[in-house]
Amino acid sequence: MKKCCFLLLMLFPLFATAQVITYDTIRVSPNDERNIYRRQQQSRRSERVSDTPQKRYITDENPGSFDKSKLRFGADLGLSISRNYTRLGFGPQVGYQFNNYFMAGGGIKYYYTKAATTNYVIKNNLLGANLFGYFYPTRFITAFAQPELNYIRSVLTEKANDYEELSRGIVPSLVVGAGLRLGRSHITLNYDLVRHANSPHPGGFYLGISAFF
């Protein structure tokens, strides 16, 4: 009998230890904090997120982005030849279509004009730079504004004695107009608000045509 009691006393700590060990093997909810597998899954997810590089997305809706497809290229052409008057001109223009209601840009131009009267011959060489803006309140209507600076070199020759008088200087202009928009072309009635004596633009109202591609 004593031997049996002694044997039970020796085995009792082992049974107690077994109870403690089996505590971690009880069934718990997947969301329970005691679930060791839940903690392992969370650590793996955090490692995958940290290892994934950050991606940057640039969309057309970003107002700070530059879209090459919105560039517009045009030209200011001038050609008029008659018995007493000749005008030749060329001016590349570059614009940017910001939205459906506004396009703006700038350009340069060169004009050569020659006019003859009974007593005089006037030859002008013009080199200028300009900014422009087209506003579209509706699909087929446009309003137009173009400030510009032009350098003009003019030679006045008297036919009687071949006397020449040279004049040159900077001539400002501010052209405004309104008219029709036909696709990327414009037909406008324009007017030079500055009305400088040596303005390259005709006096009063005149017709203007521009096209962009």
33 vs 145, more confident? 145
Sign of the CA dihedral running 20, 25, 29, 31: positive
Instruction: State the pLDDT at residue 4.
Output: 53
% of the chain residues with pLDDT over 70: 70
Name the pTM for this structure.
Answer: 0.64
Through-space distance between the first and last CA atoms of the chain, rounded to whole angstroms: 112
Q: Where are the domains of the chain?
A: 68-211
Mean pLDDT of 69-80: 87
5 pLDDT band, cuts 50/70/90, is: low
pLDDT tens by residue, 20-67: 444 455 565 656 665 555 555 565 665 554 444 554 433 444 556 889
Task: Indicate the class that CATH gives domain 68-211.
Answer: mainly beta
- Residue 105 pLDDT > 80, yes or no? yes
Instruction: State the pLDDT at residue 60.
Output: 45
Instruction: State the pLDDT at residue 44.
Output: 60
d(CA 196, CA 198): 5
Mean pLDDT of 86-96: 92
Rg (alpha carbons) of the chain, rounded to whole number: 42
Burial of residue 209 (CB within 10 Å: 0-12, 13-18, 19+) is exposed
Instruction: State the pLDDT at residue 141.
Output: 97
Helices (H), 52-181: none
d(CA 4, CA 1): 5
pLDDT tens by residue, 154-194: 999 998 888 999 999 999 999 999 999 999 999 999 999 99
